[in-house]
Structure 1
Amino acid sequence: MTTPKPLNYWDYIRVEELLTLQRGLAPSDAEISNDEVMFITVHQVYELWLKLILRELTAARDLFKRDHVAEQELSGAVRGLKRMTTIFRVANQHWEVMETLTTREYLGFRDKLMGASGFQSAQLRQIEILFGLDERARIPLGVEPSYIAALRAHDGRPSPALARVEKSLADKPTFKETIEQWLFRTPIDGVGPTAKDADAALERFIARCTRSYEHTVDATMARALSITSVDGDKVRLRERYGRERNALAEFLAADGDVRRRRVRCAMVFIETYRELPLLAWPRELLDAIVEVEQLFVIFRQRHARMVERVIGRRTGTGGSAGVDYLDKTALEYRIFRDLWAVRTLQMPRSAAPELERADFYGFKSG
């Protein structure tokens, strides 16, 4: 049996190869400025972070696309999502390194980048696709007819970036779709979607949850009105609380979409009874998903502010609207909107309606 050779750090990490990659278009990084080397390095680091996020997101999607996900496997999914959150948080700090670049220093090499753009980051597009961004929600870049077209080489030929993104588009389902499938299967009041009395159990939950929620809003409105002396303010408060009072019923109605209705009910159910032992990991999972999306939104916002600080509101090197485009994506690229909406519809633990079959969600002993 051959004895394995001792391993060196530089061989395992491929340090020498790695350190040759920060030269841009020059034969050597010795021929470009420190500013440009920093610019290249930071973007390469981002691509490595995106690689890790994509791997974790793929693993989570693959878990939830199964027909059955064991309760003990949820902790691993949450751990992966927490890793994604941490990566985004650390990546957001890296914009500070970019901000050490002054406008004039950047203008010294910016012309080299004409035609290239961060919009051509295939991995960022892959994350958006896998996470579940609706293709119909995409914001036009302003020059290319679509983000797919922007991934082609300038002579129209396919590129490695295009191949990556096209592969992701064909790789279904998305993470959002698998989470919604998992939520659809969630037993509500101990009754799953295939049970004979599934519809009746769902209606009972909706009725008593809506009553409790409306009572909570009515009580809050009464307190608000009791400390308001101006008649005009009272009118406005009644209008606002009136809309809020109807919000849960409208949310659970889901515009008549039967499947989405059950998915939304599952979200509300898990959040309403989140202290129950069997719902401990499901609620952690939903919280982790919201946290990942929150940090993703912050990533976009932080990117936009860095760009504005360094180059203002110039046209982007790829011909886009630059900061305006980045700001729009930060505002409009939201994927798990229903999970965010549930935050508005929660009620105090003391106001939660009594749970049917509470023993179903407790710990079971042999």
Structure 2
Amino acid sequence: MQKQSAISYWDYIRVEELLGLQGGIPRDDAKVSNDEVLFITVHQVFELWFKLVLRELVTARNLFQAERVAEQQLSGAVKSLQRACSVLRIANQHWEVMETLNTREFLAFRDKLFPASGFQSAQLRQIEILFGLSMDQRIPLGLEGGYMAALRSHDGAPSPALARVQKQLEDRPSLRDAIDEWLFRTPIDGSDPRQKDDERCVRAFLENYLVAHARETDATSEHAASIARTAEDGERIAKRYADEKAQVRAFFTPSAAEGGFKRARIRAAMLFIETYRELPLLAWPREVLDSLVALEQFLVIFRQRHARMVERVIGRRTGTGGSAGVDYLDKTALEYRIFRDLWAIRTLQIRRAAAPELSNAAFYDFRNS
């Protein structure tokens, strides 16, 4: 084995190269203001954080692609998801640094940025694609050629950003798709899809749960209506709870276009894990679901903080890339949701004591791992 030569911190981290990247268009720190160096540095740090998030999401996605995901592998997936959460939590705080720029300080160099845009961050687009955002979910930029055209060079030539995103689009499945397949295979009250009577078992579990949910909802509705200020308010409250019960039942009976029984089973698996999360073999699955919700929440916060930073610094003017600026950013924060079913499950849960008993709870003891 060849002996490694001694290495220094600055060589390993490549400090000099790194510190030479904040010179802006002239490639010279001495020719740009402190404000512009701040702007460049914060965005470069974002790109480094995005690189870490991408690596962790790929690792988690790859683990969930296995036909059978062992407990030890789930712990690794949770570690990757939680690390991505930690990175985004810190990244969200970086908008505070950007907000140290006041409007006139930013306007002093903003014209240099035209027609560049934060939308051209290929890595953020990669994160969205890998997470599970589909092309038809994207908010229109309002520019000729749309989403992919914005990633080309100004003369229309292919760019490194376009190549990255195209490669990501080809890298399937997304994390959401891999999670869906894993959830579909998850045993529900001891039954898995390989068993002939699995659909009957799943539907029986759901029906028992829906009965328990209706009982809880009715009790809450009666109490809320009884203390309403007026009889009319009581009627409105009762109707609202009745509508809620109907929505819950509809959620677990998706149409063929939504995915039929396969989607119903995936939703049932989410509900099962959340409802019986204290069972030993559901310890890591529940951490997976919690981590996914936390990760999506950090992505939503990232977009919201971006929008508020932009509004605070330059208001609602048109973006340098020609987008609607803050209005566009706000729409992405509201509409870019990937794990909608996981969020919906929070609305459908009931008290632990009210949950129906399982017929095969022993299946989830450690001895069956």
TM-score (structure 1 length as normaliser): 0.98
SS of the residue 1:108 aligns to: helix
Q: Find 1:313's aligned residue among 310, 316, 338.
A: 316
Q: Which residue of 2 aligns with 1:28?
A: 28
Distance 2:319 2:226 in 1: 54
Q: Find 2:268's aligned residue among 235, 260, 265.
A: 265
Distance 2:314 2:203 in 1: 56
Cα deviations by residue, 1:182-231 (Å, 9 ceiling, x for unpaired)? 00001111010110111111121111111001001011111112212411
Q: Which residue of 1 aligns with 2:362?
A: 359
Alignment of 1:182 with 2:185, yes or no, is no
The offset of 1:66, in angstroms, is 1.4
Matching of residues 1-366 of structure 1 within 5 Å: 2-256=2-256, 257-364=260-367
Change (3 A) 1:225 1:8: same
Distance 1:205 1:164 in 2: 44
Q: Which amino acid aligns with 2:16?
A: E
The offset of 1:2, in angstroms, is 4.7
Q: Which amino acid aligns with 1:304?
A: A
Are the equivalent residues in 2 in contact too, given 1:192–1:198 (CA < 8 A)? yes
SS of the residue 2:367 aligns to: coil
Change (3 A) 1:183 1:365: closer
Change (3 A) 1:19 1:294: same
Change (3 A) 1:361 1:100: same
Change (3 A) 1:286 1:2: closer
Distance 1:286 1:302 in 2: 24
Cα deviations by residue, 1:64-86 (Å, 9 ceiling, x for unpaired)? 11111112211111111111111
SS of the residue 2:101 aligns to: coil
Distance 1:112 1:144 in 2: 22
Are the equivalent residues in 2 in contact too, given 1:214–1:246 (CA < 8 A)? no
The offset of 1:4, in angstroms, is 2.3
Are the equivalent residues in 2 in contact too, given 1:78–1:285 (CA < 8 A)? yes
Distance 2:331 2:95 in 1: 19
Are the equivalent residues in 2 in contact too, given 1:126–1:164 (CA < 8 A)? yes
Distance 2:298 2:5 in 1: 43
Are the equivalent residues in 1 in contact too, given 2:317–2:324 (CA < 8 A)? yes
Q: Which amino acid aligns with 1:358?
A: A
Distance 1:27 1:343 in 2: 50
Distance 1:84 1:229 in 2: 47
The offset of 1:352, in angstroms, is 0.3
Q: Which amino acid aligns with 1:284?
A: E
Structure 1 outlier segments of 4+, above 4 Å? none
The offset of 1:365, in angstroms, is 8.1
Change (3 A) 1:188 1:96: same
Cα deviations by residue, 1:326-353 (Å, 9 ceiling, x for unpaired)? 0000000000000000000000000000
Change (3 A) 1:356 1:24: same
Q: Which amino acid aligns with 1:42?
A: V
Unaligned 5+ runs, structure 2: none
Cα deviations by residue, 1:12-65 (Å, 9 ceiling, x for unpaired)? 000000010001111411111000011000000000000000000011111111
Distance 1:229 1:151 in 2: 57
Distance 1:128 1:206 in 2: 32
SS of the residue 2:328 aligns to: helix
Cα deviations by residue, 1:222-268 (Å, 9 ceiling, x for unpaired)? 11122124111011101100011223211110124121011111111
Range that drifts further, 76-85 or 346-355: 76-85
SS of the residue 1:353 aligns to: coil
Distance 1:96 1:29 in 2: 23
Range that drifts further, 167-176 or 25-34: 25-34
Q: Which amino acid aligns with 1:129?
A: I
Q: Which amino acid aligns with 1:330?
A: A
Change (3 A) 1:329 1:2: closer
Change (3 A) 1:2 1:214: closer
Distance 2:267 2:354 in 1: 20
Cα deviations by residue, 1:149-168 (Å, 9 ceiling, x for unpaired)? 10001111000000000000
Give the CA RMSD over aligned residues. 1.2
The offset of 1:307, in angstroms, is 0.4
Are the equivalent residues in 1 in contact too, given 2:226–2:234 (CA < 8 A)? no
